[in-house]
Amino acid sequence: MSGGTALRQVRAMSWRSVLAIARQPALVVPSLVFPLFFASLGTSSFSRATSLPGFPEVDSFLDFSLAGTIVQGVLFGSTVGATALATDIQTGFFDRLLASPVSRLSVLLGRLAGASAFGAAQAALFTLLLLPFGVTVHAGVGGFAVIVLSGALIGLAFGALMAAMALRTGSAEAVQGAFPLLFIVLFFSSAFFPRQTMSGVYGGIADANPVSYLVEGIRALIVEGFGARAVAEALGIPAAIACGTLWLSIVALRARVRAA
């Protein structure tokens, strides 16, 4: 198969994935509404926490919480494409795709491209929606672009992880059941409170959790400005995670194809 043909197939499957996400508001809306709800609740409840010793210097708690809101939304949204993939397996459509002259890899990459596009859209949407409420992105337009790209990489990384689960189990319920695991990963990070104020086991887990450094990279772009370290954390960490999860999803795809 030529490279041009494979690219066209990936593009077609990607467009199908984007349309599938847009046509499932019951799955999409929670990943948009709940992060904004937590951001508003946290801001109203913990606005005075910014004066605690060790708390980073920020204009407001909303500025501090935006990074966590973005990562939370994209993590939750990563289950949408994988759920659709599992549904394709359950309904037999996935087997029909395998029987057609379509590259097996394009089926997976199309889904992941949809997850990546949704992650980028979420990052942009959350930032733009909260700007009128006082959020300031100190890194400017360039920082905003990095945040959107980070959202795309996070969507790709965790979308690939969920896709591997969908391919292994073939169950939409199993994919949706992984939602609490993602919340645990997020909760034991610095998404909702700075690591500088943590201690004990919780602080140790947050220090070892790569999501903490991902969130802090995005947060630095928002509250500090454009910097090499912030860009490296915001883009490099999800890219590194994506390398591992992409491998897992490709292995799961090969196993599913052999079993078909």
Q: Please state, as a whole number, how many other Cβ atoms lie within 10 Å of the Cβ of residue 99.
A: 9
- What whole-number percentage of the chain has pLDDT above 90? 37
Whole-angstrom Cα distance, residue 178 to residue 237? 21
Whole-angstrom Cα distance, residue 213 to residue 144? 18
What is the pLDDT averaged over residues 53-65? 82
Tallying the residues shown for the chain, one arrives at 260
> Which sign does the torsion angle of CA 161, 188, 119, 143 carry?
negative
pLDDT of residue 3: 56
For the cut 60, the answer to whether the pLDDT of residue 1 exceeds it is: no
For the stretch 69-106, pLDDT in tens is 999 999 988 888 888 888 888 888 788 877 777 777 88
Distance of CA 112 to the CA centre of its chain: 11
Q: Read off the pLDDT band of 4 (50, 70, 90).
A: low
pLDDT of residue 248: 94
First to last CA, the chain: 22
SS3 171: coil
pLDDT of residue 6: 67
For the stretch 134-184, pLDDT in tens is 888 999 999 999 999 999 999 999 999 999 999 998 888 888 887 788 888
For the stretch 185-239, pLDDT in tens is 888 998 888 888 778 888 889 899 999 999 999 999 999 989 999 999 999 999 9
Nearest by Cα to 182 from 253, 91, 83, 108 = 83
For the stretch 14-58, pLDDT in tens is 777 777 777 777 777 887 888 888 888 877 777 777 777 777 788
pLDDT of residue 240: 96
Whole-angstrom Cα distance, residue 195 to residue 211? 12
Residues whose CB falls within 8 Å of the CB of residue 260, separated by 6 or more in sequence, listed in order = 95, 98
For the cut 70, the answer to whether the pLDDT of residue 260 exceeds it is: no
SS3 206: helix
Q: Please state, as a whole number, how many other Cβ atoms lie within 10 Å of the Cβ of residue 132.
A: 7
